[in-house]
Chain A
């Protein structure tokens, strides 16, 4: 009973206290108690995997227990562990197979039978484990063919539970390395399911089919008719499952029919979750396989009107991007756009209620491309938009979109009545945002020449978009530079100011809570509420807020000046005007896209006067990066930025142009008469752009990077770069720790490509050779390539260097290195890397900076290599990373330690036996220092204190005390999982020595 309670309500902090007791219970003579003990351990494993790591061998014993109940309980633990990492348990495959054989053979006591099927759930569990173990592993798979065959044969009694087993069997068979006979049998099984009159079985069959179809699309052909019957099935669940299946087999030929079916279902369905899901799928299919323009536009229209406002924001964004970017063929583009414009006009004519998102898309397209349709009078369009504006159901965000469209159209027409009417109406509008728009438009109408200048893109945007060289941006930046880069400062600084304000808001309360918690814990005196890393930050920030104040003051001044010079009609400086909005939009783009992380850095790392300089440099780097890709040696930091932008540029170019045109409106707004009210709109747009950006950064890894010239001589700059990064990163990452501010993760690691083409055995480049590093380990080999890796422990990161050596006598080209997404780790920058060419008999290498996302004691980072020799070759590899790789010593004084200790909340205590070789405390601590890279802060008597940090900067403090051959370890850290992980490492180290 107590064990049941333990497993159900125990909090993780109390686990160490009862763990030994439960371990004892594993040897208890009664089966039920042993079983409960195993179950309790399973619960513990789920809560805190690290704490039960040392008793793995006991699980093995439980697996071989006499009592099947105990064995069954231990299977849960194994299923979980194997799910996380299957490679470590391959040796157990045989025992699992034996167990399954026994179970299937009916060797278990009769109590375990359920409707004369022996222990069905146990079988299912085992099959699942086998499936995980045998995945992509022919050798282990071979072991299980027999038993799978056996269970397929045995499970032919007509009962629900046997169907469940069969289903699991089928799934396992298709997961493991395929064997044709078994596949045949499994396919037969599925056929039986699908054809069954029982509805539940049908469902199960469809589900299995969906799963199987990814491996073997031919099977679907056999069941074509059944699938089609299922489509018209009265039960919507079956229908949905069928659609899921169809989604998997969609291709260019059948897309029209499938999407039609999906839309039909979509119209009937009411549940929000289902709609979101389905809409996403339709949009994806439509984009991927669209046979022609008309169909595509119509499908998207249907999606938007049915999906309404619940659709994922990515969908309209993607759609617009597709419209703007176009395909390779310019003519087709225009057709597509014209068709879109026409269809929207028709839709607006009907005057039905449309979801906001759809209206936004419509107005954007109309604004942008209505000029393409020559036979429609712009006046008509304007009227329609106007009537839309007057409707009450339209939200202000949508109104802003519509207004932008109106402005764009108005710029191409002579003064129209509708525009005038519209102006009159909205100049007195209660909505400040609308009023601003109206004023804005009015000013523009008064000055036609300016308007033409200001909105030159509308007409030419199309060309711009297709233009791959990004040359139009160069112009802006050059102009900006010519003017001392001053024009975009306001925007830039405002963002900075916003950030700093946010920071102040975020950190101050933290400081306070520290203070209170400290006084609560009984510390007297007026220590400033600073823990070490947090602390330096807090204080740094409170100091900085002062600076920021002045900063914002300055900003005030600048803005006013701007208003006069730029917009008040008295000073008619047309060139200036033309420049301003553009540069501003450009500047804000900078701020939004590339400028973001650097801004952050600069406002923390650099002093204020330096900022301006840096911005200029930033601009010039951008310019360089965009323009020619020439490897101009600038400062290291700038270099990263350039690279980042380069990578994104392909995607961004399209977005830029969109955004620029959007921004024109909003930026111009800024200088309107109502300067002091912060335009809601601008923020809307900003948010918008940010989402797009994030999207962009996500996509960018997928985009082929070939034409982006990676071979700029950058290797030399790494060291400089590291220096710079080291001072900016800690502060930044502790920002993350408190993450209330959204920051785009900058990519601080640089990829350097110094080619060491002289020998085949890889060695580290000189600048890395000096740092501590591990041995070069071979990861995998093929006939043509060998892959080696080496970990380099720099002070602030873990650099993973991967070497590729070409063993053949001919050069290999287009070698792709891809890291798969891992649960615990994150590769900074993109997880892919492409070697354009690897010369014969030579070694190339690349470096990736890895950081630990989720704390674990050990994890595997896997990936693969693609290359083209005679045929496409795919080579997989995996690298084991341990927590120790991410631990660095943390220097501090005893006093600091004391302060920090009190401010940390998560603690873990454990006693470890000391071996005879390290009987003294200092000897033991030295072992820890050497093996785990901990920093010994102080040793007093039989107590010692150590400190370390998990990269980037999570501190962990350790207090040790010896008594009678035991070492009492006491960890504290702001992160809950870190002490557990470290404790495990300590135990291991102490046992080893």
Chain B
């Protein structure tokens, strides 16, 4: 089960967030902040799966943009890892060379 999907830049600003489970709005910000802190603190050669509380984070970095997915125990980490890449490839096709600006300025397209 995928719990949430986040797109965050290196400054910690959230560009896109999508929750598949109900989380209260103010709790979301706290959660996002912690998740990002966790991801940013890791170096390139470290494993891209993190255990966080009772679920796992899978993240992938594209230039300055992090994509973080929260999943529970039953999910296959590697599959999700590739799913992120697939998602990015789709975006790439749609915007023809996607960048952070695209993501932040065309929120409505992103939510499709």
Chain A interface (Cβ < 8 Å from any Cβ of B) = 114, 120-121, 124, 160-161, 163-165, 167-168, 199-200, 202-204, 207, 234-235, 237-238, 240, 273-274
Interface presence of B30 (CB below 8 A): no
A200 and B81 contacting across the interface, CB-CB below 8 Å = yes
B59 to chain A, nearest CB (A): 11
A203 and B54 contacting across the interface, CB-CB below 8 Å = no
Alpha-carbon separation in the docked complex, A200 to B53 (Å)? 20
A200 and B78 contacting across the interface, CB-CB below 8 Å = yes
Interface residues on chain B, number (Cβ under 8 Å): 19
Would you call the interface of chain B mostly helix, strand, loop, or mixed?
A: mixed
Interface presence of B47 (CB below 8 A): yes
Of residues 29 through 50 on chain B, the ones whose CB sits less than 8 Å from some CB of chain A are 45-50
A168 and B76 contacting across the interface, CB-CB below 8 Å = yes
> Which A residues are CB-close (under 8 A) to B78?
160-161, 163-164, 167, 200, 204
Nearest 7 Cβ contacts at the A-B interface: A164-B78, A164-B79, A161-B82, A199-B47, A235-B46, A203-B47, A273-B53
Alpha-carbon separation in the docked complex, A461 to B54 (Å)? 42
B47 and A200 contacting across the interface, CB-CB below 8 Å = yes
Alpha-carbon separation in the docked complex, A207 to B49 (Å)? 12
B20 to chain A, nearest CB (A): 10
Compute the total of residue contacts between A and B using a CB distance below 8 Å.
Answer: 58
Residue on A with the closest CB to B48? A200
Interface presence of B92 (CB below 8 A): no
> Which A residues are CB-close (under 8 A) to B86?
114
> Which B residues are CB-close (under 8 A) to A114?
82, 86
B76 and A164 contacting across the interface, CB-CB below 8 Å = yes
Given contacts A237-B51, A273-B54, contact A164 B46 (CB under 8 A): no
> Which A residues are CB-close (under 8 A) to B51?
237, 240, 274
B47 to chain A, nearest CB (A): 4
> Which A residues are CB-close (under 8 A) to B45?
199
* Partner pick for B76 among A167, A235, A240, CB 8 A cutoff: A167
B106 to chain A, nearest CB (A): 18
> Which A residues are CB-close (under 8 A) to B50?
237
* Partner pick for B79 among A121, A203, A235, A273, CB 8 A cutoff: A121
A164 and B47 contacting across the interface, CB-CB below 8 Å = no
Given contacts A235-B47, A237-B46, contact A164 B54 (CB under 8 A): no
B77 and A204 contacting across the interface, CB-CB below 8 Å = yes
Would you call the interface of chain A mostly helix, strand, loop, or mixed?
A: helix
A203 and B77 contacting across the interface, CB-CB below 8 Å = yes
Chain B interface (Cβ < 8 Å from any Cβ of A) = 45-54, 76-79, 81-83, 85-86
Residue on B with the closest CB to A164? B78
| Between-chain CB contacts (< 8 Å), 21 pairs | A114-B86, A120-B79, A160-B85, A161-B78, A161-B79, A161-B82, A164-B78, A164-B79, A165-B79, A167-B76, A167-B78, A199-B45, A199-B48, A200-B48, A200-B81, A203-B77, A204-B77, A235-B46, A237-B46, A237-B50, A238-B47
B54 and A120 contacting across the interface, CB-CB below 8 Å = no
> Which A residues are CB-close (under 8 A) to B53?
273
Residue on B with the closest CB to A121? B79
A163 to chain B, nearest CB (A): 5
Residue on B with the closest CB to A199? B47
Alpha-carbon separation in the docked complex, A202 to B47 (Å)? 9
> Which B residues are CB-close (under 8 A) to A160?
78, 81-82, 85
A200 and B79 contacting across the interface, CB-CB below 8 Å = no
B51 to chain A, nearest CB (A): 6
B77 and A120 contacting across the interface, CB-CB below 8 Å = no
Residue on A with the closest CB to B53? A273
> Which B residues are CB-close (under 8 A) to A207?
77
> Which B residues are CB-close (under 8 A) to A165?
79
Residue on B with the closest CB to A203? B47
B44 to chain A, nearest CB (A): 10
Alpha-carbon separation in the docked complex, A160 to B80 (Å)? 10
Residue on B with the closest CB to A244? B51
B49 and A237 contacting across the interface, CB-CB below 8 Å = yes
> Which B residues are CB-close (under 8 A) to A240?
51
Residue on B with the closest CB to A123? B79
B83 and A121 contacting across the interface, CB-CB below 8 Å = yes
Residue on A with the closest CB to B45? A199
A120 and B82 contacting across the interface, CB-CB below 8 Å = yes
Alpha-carbon separation in the docked complex, A121 to B85 (Å)? 13
> Which B residues are CB-close (under 8 A) to A200?
47-49, 77-78, 81
A3 to chain B, nearest CB (A): 14
> Which B residues are CB-close (under 8 A) to A199?
45-48
> Which A residues are CB-close (under 8 A) to B79?
120-121, 124, 161, 164-165, 168
> Which B residues are CB-close (under 8 A) to A202?
47
> Which B residues are CB-close (under 8 A) to A120?
79, 82
> Which A residues are CB-close (under 8 A) to B54?
273
A111 to chain B, nearest CB (A): 12
B39 to chain A, nearest CB (A): 12
> Which B residues are CB-close (under 8 A) to A203?
47, 49, 77
Quick one: which of B48, B52, B53, B79 has the most chain A CB within 10 A?
B79
Quick one: which of A168, A235, A274 has the most chain B CB within 10 A?
A235
> Which B residues are CB-close (under 8 A) to A235?
46-47
B67 to chain A, nearest CB (A): 15
A537 to chain B, nearest CB (A): 33
